[in-house]
């Protein structure tokens, strides 16, 4: 049975869910938060060490300002209201992405919540925010050149946002769309990918458990036979 150390998720379909149920994309973003909590709790139960959630991509700045602000507000509320819960659950928060370019209030909350959970030894929750994989790789190579060291696997890994984090074993994308949308292009080289038809707010505990079960039985070759 394959061990599950790291699960990465492209949480797609909130907007469509919101339009369908409330005629508002933002209602879908709010509903998606319930799924986030379900998946966090189950990941802890399953002893998964890393959970990475794609929350906002570098391309998502193309959305209307009102939706972007709503998303950032939602995250700010989550961080301020749930911090005690995260600490109690021994969760370590880590943000990956171009955090410096985010609004200052959100940036401050990010720094505070990372600091408050830094010593926690339970689930590491990686929140990909203003994250773009191509920029991440370019940046790593630039740093390697600056330091005048070899361009190799080890050094590229060393300067990614995900340094010290093993590559995902599982990638789940909900929302009935089969693409990576600039998420962890380097890290997903040998990840098992599960595309889910359901929209993120409809994705439930049972769907998650089914994927874990299926994954555990897969024969992973890594190029061997």
Active site members: 12, 60
Query: Is 26 a binder of ligand IPE (CB under 6 A)?
Result: no
Which of 4, 7, 8, 10 forms a contact with ligand IPE (CB under 6 A)?
A: 10
Alpha-carbon distances of 168 from 48, 69, 87, 171, 204, rounded to whole Å: 11, 30, 24, 7, 20
Q: 58 and 78 in contact (C-beta within 8 Å)?
A: no
Instruction: Read off the tokens for 167.
Output: 């590559």
Question: How many whole angstroms separate alpha carbon 82 and alpha carbon 173?
Answer: 25
Which of 50, 56, 78, 203 forms a contact with ligand IPE (CB under 6 A)?
A: 56
Alpha-carbon distances of 147 from 64, 98, 134, rounded to whole Å: 39, 21, 20
Q: Which is nearer to Mg ion, 22 or 41 (CB)?
A: 22
Choose the stretch contacting ligand IPE; rule: CB under 6 A; options: 48-56, 90-98, 112-120, 156-164.
48-56
Q: 109 and 79 in contact (C-beta within 8 Å)?
A: yes
Q: Which is nearer to ligand IPE, 156 or 175 (CB)?
A: 175
Query: Is 201 a binder of ligand IPE (CB under 6 A)?
Result: no
Query: Is 155 a binder of ligand IPE (CB under 6 A)?
Result: no
Choose the stretch contacting ligand IPE; rule: CB under 6 A; options: 36-44, 55-63, 90-98, 144-152.
55-63
The alpha carbon torsion through 94, 158, 165, 54 (nearest 10 deg) reads 50
User: Which residues ranging from 3 to 22 are in contact with Mg ion (CB under 5 A)?
Assistant: 12
Three-state SS letters, 192-221: EEEECCCCHHHCCHHHHHHHHHHHHHCCCC
Which of 2, 38, 60, 204 forms a contact with ligand IPE (CB under 6 A)?
A: 60
Which one of Mg ion, ligand IPE, none interacts with residue 191, CB within 5 to 8 A by kind?
A: none
Name the minimum Å distance from CB 175 to Mg ion.
6
């Amino acid at each position: 049975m394959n061990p599950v150390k790291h699960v990465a998720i492209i949480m797609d379909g909130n907007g469509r869910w919101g339009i369908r149920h409330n005629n508002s994309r933002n209602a879908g973003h709010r509903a998606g938060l319930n799924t986030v909590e379900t998946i966090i709790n189950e990941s802890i139960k399953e002893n998964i060490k890393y959970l990475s959630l794609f929350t906002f991509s570098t391309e998502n700045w193309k959305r209307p300002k009102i939706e972007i602000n709503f998303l950032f507000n939602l995250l700010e509320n989550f961080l301020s209201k749930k911090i005690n819960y995260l600490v109690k659950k021994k969760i370590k928060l880590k943000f990956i992405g171009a955090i410096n370019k985010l609004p200052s209030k959100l940036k401050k909350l990010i720094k505070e919540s990372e600091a408050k959970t830094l010593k926690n030894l339970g689930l590491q929750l990686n929140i990909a925010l203003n994250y773009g994989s191509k920029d991440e790789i370019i940046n790593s190579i630039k740093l390697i050149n600056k330091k005048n060291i070899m361009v190799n696997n080890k050094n590229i890994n060393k300067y990614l946002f995900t340094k010290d984090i093993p590559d995902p074993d599982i990638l789940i994308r909900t929302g009935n769309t089969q693409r990576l949308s600039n998420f962890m292009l380097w890290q997903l080289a040998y990840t098992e990918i599960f595309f889910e038809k359901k929209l993120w707010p409809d994705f439930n505990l049972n769907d998650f458990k089914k994927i874990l079960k299926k994954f555990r039985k897969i024969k992973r070759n890594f190029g061997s036979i």
